[in-house]
């Protein structure tokens, strides 16, 4: 996050027309105090309860969905700074990590992790497979098929053969859950029936 003086913000917006200019003040201020031309309203806190909007990050992510730069504005700079910190996503610990991680606005200890597999799918980097309690490999929680491994294990197959079979199965891993597709088909077994 970078703090910009008003003149710097203006110059940045002129030089970066793709930037999303967000007024984080309340709706009342936006409407009745006035707002800069081209700004959109996404309040950081708003009436009637004046609590931080728990969906603020999601709204901004939607508004800047193709990684457009974001410029925040408020009155004193305090709300913009807090909101900016909330938008600062922490880097993932590893590519297939499920949670989007954020630190707190007061820079205190701890962090917030949001796991949103439907609205923010992370399937593309998923490296998960599951060996079920009954000896099947499922390559996705939404798999429509199980791949049997127990047969090989019970038959005393050598490690090399088992490894080759696991490799063959993993190569068939689904590319995602496709929940949002019109032809989505639910998994053959739900998690409570899988175990493992
Ligand atoms: S839905 Fe399947 S591919 Fe996507 S993250 Fe879950 S297990 Fe991985």
Instruction: Label each residue of the chain as H, E or C.
Output: CCCCCHHHHHHHHHHCCCCEEEECCCHHHHHHHCCCCCCEECCCEECCCCEECCCHHHHHHHHCCCCCCEEEECCCCHHHHHHHHHHCEECCCCCCCCCEEEECCCCCCCEEEECCCCCCCCHHHCCCCEECCCCEEECCCCCCCCEECHHHHHCCCCHHHHHHHHHHHHCCCCCCCCCCCCCCCCCCCCHHHCCC
The per-residue pLDDT for 150 is 96
The per-residue pLDDT for 151 is 97
Q: Is the CB of 52 under 6 A from ligand 1?
A: no
The per-residue pLDDT for 108 is 67
Residue 42 phi, psi (nearest 5): -140, 95
Gap between the terminal Cα atoms of the chain:
43
Instruction: Give the dihedral of Cα atoms 72, 75, 77, 83; nearest 10 deg.
Output: -50
Query: What angle do the packed helices 56-63 and 78-87 form, to 10 degrees?
Result: 80
The per-residue pLDDT for 145 is 92
Q: What are the average pLDDT values for consecutive 10-residue runs of the chain, which has 196 residues?
A: 91 95 96 94 94 89 86 94 84 83 71 80 89 94 93 96 97 92 89 80
Domain residue extents for the chain: 6-87, 128-193
Residue 73 CA to ligand 1 centre (angstroms): 38
Query: Is 6-87 assigned to CATH 3.40.250.10?
Result: yes
43 contacts: CB under 8 Å, gap ≥ 6: 24, 25, 26, 27, 30, 53, 56
Question: How far, rounded to the nearest angstrom, does the alpha carbon of residue 4 sit from its chain's CA centroid?
Answer: 27
The per-residue pLDDT for 113 is 80
Please give the structure tokens belonging to residue 121.
């799918």
For 141, what's the count of Cα atoms within 13 Å in the CB-facing half-sphere?
A: 13
The per-residue pLDDT for 107 is 64
Length of the chain: 196
User: What does the alpha-carbon distance between residue 120 and residue 21 come to, in Å, rounded to a whole number?
Assistant: 23
Nearest CA to ligand 1 atom 2: 140
Residue 177 CA to ligand 1 centre (angstroms): 6
Substitution candidate for ligand 1 out of 128, 180, 181 with most atoms within 8 A of CB: 128
């Amino acid at each position: 996050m970078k703090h910009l003086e008003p003149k710097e913000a203006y110059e940045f917006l002129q030089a970066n027309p793709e930037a999303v200019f967000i007024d984080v003040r309340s709706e009342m201020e936006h409407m009745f105090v006035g707002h800069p031309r081209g700004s959109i309203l996404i309040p950081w806190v708003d009436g009637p309860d004046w609590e931080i909007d728990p969906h603020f990050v999601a709204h901004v992510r939607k508004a800047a969905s193709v990684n457009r730069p974001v410029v925040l504005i408020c009155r004193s700079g305090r709300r913009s700074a807090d909101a900016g910190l909330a938008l600062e996503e922490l880097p993932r610990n590893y590519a297939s990590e499920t949670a989007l991680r954020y630190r707190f606005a007061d820079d205190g200890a701890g962090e917030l992790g949001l796991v949103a597999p439907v609205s923010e799918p992370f399937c593309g980097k998923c490296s998960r497979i599951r060996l079920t309690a009954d000896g099947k490999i499922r390559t996705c929680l939404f798999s429509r098929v199980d791949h049997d491994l127990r047969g090989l294990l019970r038959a005393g197959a050598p490690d090399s053969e088992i490894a080759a079979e696991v490799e063959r199965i993993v190569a068939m891993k689904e590319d995602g859950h496709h929940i949002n597709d019109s032809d989505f088909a639910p998994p053959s077994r739900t998690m409570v029936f899988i175990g493992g």
